[in-house]
Amino acid sequence: MNEIDIKGKNSTHQGGKGEPLHDWYPYLEGFSSDFVKGLQENYFKKDSVLLEPFAGVGTTPLYLARNNIDCYYCEINPILRHVIKTKLDILKLPMKKKSMLLTNLESHIINIKNINQTPKCDILKKNYDILFKNSKFFNPENYLKILKLKKYLRDVEDGITKDILDLSVYSSLLKSSFLKRAGDVRYRTKKDLLRNPVKNVIDCVIDKINLISKDIENTDTYKFRSILLADNAKNLKHKDTINADGIITSPPYLNGTNYIRNTKLELFFMEYINSTTSLRYFRDRVITSGINDVNKDTDNTIMPEIKETYNRIYANAYDCRNPKMISNYFNDMNAFFEGAKKQLRKNAIICLDIGDSIYANEKVETDQLLIEIAKRSKIKVIDTILLRQRYSKNKEKLSQKLLVFKT
């Protein structure tokens, strides 16, 4: 690997901190644009067509868009799809329309500062009561302002302006709540609250609009082709073939992170969830990565490649869902490889960022198991690069690796 270092911080979301558009929505599971740049320059030609099946907040599509490289992508979380769409729309926007947009945002900041004059959104309040019942995620002042912000945003007609304002609000919800992200969203401890007090939601929203406005001022206009191929990467085998030259992606780690529940506040605000079964609908469709993704209907076929690992977890599991989670994860990743094979031309390259795991005090060598499972789709590994060392909650050494495959 030359010129651009893909290791260490660059293989994490932190590596892109400060870049225009990167800080609009915090996403710890992502990587930096330098990571994408390093892979693109080392493994692909300039005119390659690439696929990003787990697009997250859009780091890969955005880097490729800025470099006039065609990209197809998938993302199952509607909040993250909204983040990607909003960023891509900004990259396409002509300079004259950017100037008009910035003027619009300035006027909305004034209105948001006076949000108390706006009535609250009764529909959003009703949804909160259905979804979260008696749970108190916000203090009364912030909760009322969130309901008022929703009512205000319903009347915003310009599409890109509304997208930015929506993003500015839902990306501010966690900071203005009693919650934090730690594998899953959970209540902050007293120590957490002393160290990082709950923020005023209006201040957070205005700060985010100002950040986005500054980024828009510093962003050129680009011509590119970036297409949402499918929401669910597990369904790629059911889509028409695009004959892409390769893949740059990081699938969910088998680490218990609940990628849907982690965005439940955002999903609530954008009204993607409005019933007690809404979250389950999304969780049932994602790549299984934690025990809460397991249900009685998920495929529990135990592939021969993972049988030894499955048996070790089964013998020592503290939760009966643990071994099923293991089998479900690799079944889902097998479906991904099958779909990837269909979407790629012959001799295409797949760059896969992945980490290993520990469950029931047993190591799960995710990278090695994926290498074996990929063989089912006639996809072979041609390189393995250690990106960084990680550590489990119990201080066990884990690793993050880049697997490079060829079809």
At 178, list the tokens: 């009693």
In the chain, what is the straight-line distance between the N-terminal and C-terminal CA atoms, in Å? 21
Measured from the Cβ of residue 171, the count of other Cβ atoms closer than 10 Å reads 21
What pLDDT, on the 0 to 100 scale, is given for residue 292? 79
- 11: helix, coil or strand? helix
**For the ranges 198-202, 228-232, 393-397, 403-407, which has the lowest average pLDDT?**
393-397
The rounded percent of the chain whose pLDDT value lies above 90 is: 78
Query: How far apart are alpha carbons 4 and 257 in whole angstroms?
Result: 29
Averaged pLDDT for residues 76-81: 97
The rounded percent of the chain whose pLDDT value lies above 70 is: 97
What domains can you pick out in the chain, each with its CATH number?
8-91+225-255+290-406 (3.40.50.150), 109-217 (no CATH)
Q: Report the DSSP beta bridge partners of residue 350.
A: 247, 405
DSSP string, 97-130: HHHHHHHHHHHHHHHHHTGGGSPP-HHHHHHHHH
Q: Is the pTM of this model over 0.85?
A: yes
Q: Is the pLDDT of residue 14 over 90?
A: no
Q: Is the pLDDT of residue 3 over 50?
A: no
Residues 175, 176, 181, CA angle at the centre, nearest 5°?
40
What pLDDT, on the 0 to 100 scale, is given for residue 156? 96
Query: How do residues 98-128 score in pLDDT, each as one tens digit?
Result: 999 999 999 999 999 999 999 999 999 999 9
Query: How do residues 336-359 score in pLDDT, each as one tens digit?
Result: 999 999 999 999 999 999 999 888
211 contacts: CB under 8 Å, gap ≥ 6:
23, 24
99 contacts: CB under 8 Å, gap ≥ 6:
none
What pLDDT, on the 0 to 100 scale, is given for residue 213? 98
Measured from the Cβ of residue 137, the count of other Cβ atoms closer than 10 Å reads 20
Q: Is the pLDDT of residue 15 over 70?
A: no
In whole angstroms, how far apart are CA 269 and each of 62, 128, 131, 146, 147? 25, 9, 11, 8, 9
Q: Is the pLDDT of residue 223 over 60?
A: yes
